[in-house]
Amino acid sequence: MSDSSLVFALENGSLSALSKIPKSDLHSHAGRGGHISYIEKYANVKITPNEVPFESLYEMNQWLKENVKCHLPGGAEGYLKQIEASFAQAAADNVTVLALSFCVDEIQLLGGMEAFKNTIDGLREKYAPNTKLYPDLALGYFPEEVNALDEILERKFFSGVDIMNYMGTYTMDELKRICRKLKENELILKAHIGEFGEADDVWRYAEELGLDQIQHGVLAAKSDKVMRYLADNRIQLNVCPTSNVMLKVSADYETHPIHTLFANGVKVTINTDDLLIFNSTLSEEYLKLYKAGMKAADLEVIRQTGLHYA
Ligand SMILES: [Zn+2]
């Protein structure tokens, strides 16, 4: 697809043209990447999307439970329906490069690494045959997860790791030790930093842990020094605009930090985070940023950055 096709689709405000253009989603939590309409159709129910920003992550998770998960079976069956929805969405929006993150307890839910790998590969093949999957292992939920690390890495299923919820689970020294091991296994190192907290956190964690990419990282826009560090070291931020608006990290799309980050030479990509909750597809994210003042040619640069993930 040529450069001009994205520009054309944006200038015409055409979501259907946008949905046909190959895109990447590099920040998507596996069970939450589907579209509400997919769950509605499956469960034969009507789900009203949340339209006002959430006050907290707790409130966001409660919304998912009370509006989506309540329509799905429990245990592995419901979980697999959510994964199926994520792949179906990737196919519907032509997401050809997809990094979904999975937690250790999701691997355990499906009966261990061998069964997990086969099941996820099978679902991708069936629902998103044209999508290349780059699975991330999400770490930071419970300290015992590190005991499962050797067995998980041995299968060579994961291409990256996403450290989240690290505060309270690990000290910086523990994180460094874990990251060294992951680096030895040649995994792309990512972490959720700079969504909440301080701009300096982005620089500090990237430097100390040797991160390749950062999930969110938008607070970096508050500091010229941190932006220069990210630009000089080619550290990519996988940004999720609607997630930031819905969690009050950014007031709106016009003032979203992605404008400043891009203008300062920081490598950024556009992603969905939790589509099932935030109800904004990748195509919609591109269009929202275009309407908020980003140039179509700049959005094309961002799209290309994402497609060159691997
Ligand atoms: Zn996230």
CA distances 28 to 116, 175, 189, 223, Å, are: 18, 22, 15, 26
Q: How far from the centroid of its chain's Cα atoms is residue 259's Cα?
A: 19
Q: Give the Å distance between the CA of 258 and the centre of ligand 1.
A: 16
CA angle 243, 68, 165 (to 5 degrees): 45
Q: Give the Å distance between the CA of 273 and the centre of ligand 1.
A: 5
Which two tokens mark 214? 């950062």
pLDDT at 167: 74
Q: Give the Å distance between the CA of 34 and the centre of ligand 1.
A: 14
What interhelical angle do 224-232 and 199-209 show, nearest 10? 30
pLDDT at 246: 98
Q: How far from the centroid of its chain's Cα atoms is residue 127's Cα?
A: 19
**What domain count does the chain have?**
1
pLDDT at 141: 85
The single-letter code of the amino acid at 9 is A
Helix (H, G, I), strand (E, B) or coil at 2: coil
Mean pLDDT, consecutive 10-residue stretches, the chain (310 aa), reads: 79 96 97 98 97 95 97 96 98 98 96 96 98 97 88 95 84 92 94 91 94 97 97 98 97 98 98 98 98 97 95
CATH number, domain of 208, equals 3.20.20.140
Q: Give the Å distance between the CA of 27 and the centre of ligand 1.
A: 6
pLDDT at 168: 75
Q: Give the Å distance between the CA of 163 and the centre of ligand 1.
A: 10
CA pseudo-torsion sign 135, 54, 88, 67: positive
pLDDT at 4: 67
pLDDT at 88: 98
Question: Which residues constitute the domain of residue 83?
Answer: 3-307
Q: Give the Å distance between the CA of 269 and the centre of ligand 1.
A: 13
Spatial separation of the C-alpha atoms in residues 211 and 172, rounded to whole Å: 13
Spatial separation of the C-alpha atoms in residues 238 and 282, rounded to whole Å: 13
Residue 100 has a CB neighbour count (10 Å cut-off) of 26
132 beta partners: 97
Helix (H, G, I), strand (E, B) or coil at 273: strand
Q: Give the Å distance between the CA of 183 and the centre of ligand 1.
A: 21
pLDDT at 149: 92
- Residue 12: name the closest of 23, 1, 4, 24 by CA: 4
Spatial separation of the C-alpha atoms in residues 219 and 261, rounded to whole Å: 10
Q: Give the Å distance between the CA of 29 and the centre of ligand 1.
A: 6
pLDDT at 245: 98
Q: Give the Å distance between the CA of 2 and the centre of ligand 1.
A: 30
Q: Give the Å distance between the CA of 4 and the centre of ligand 1.
A: 30
- Residue 306: name the closest of 269, 276, 280, 274 by CA: 269
237 Ramachandran zone, left/alpha/beta (phi>0; psi -120 to 50) = beta
Spatial separation of the C-alpha atoms in residues 245 and 218, rounded to whole Å: 12
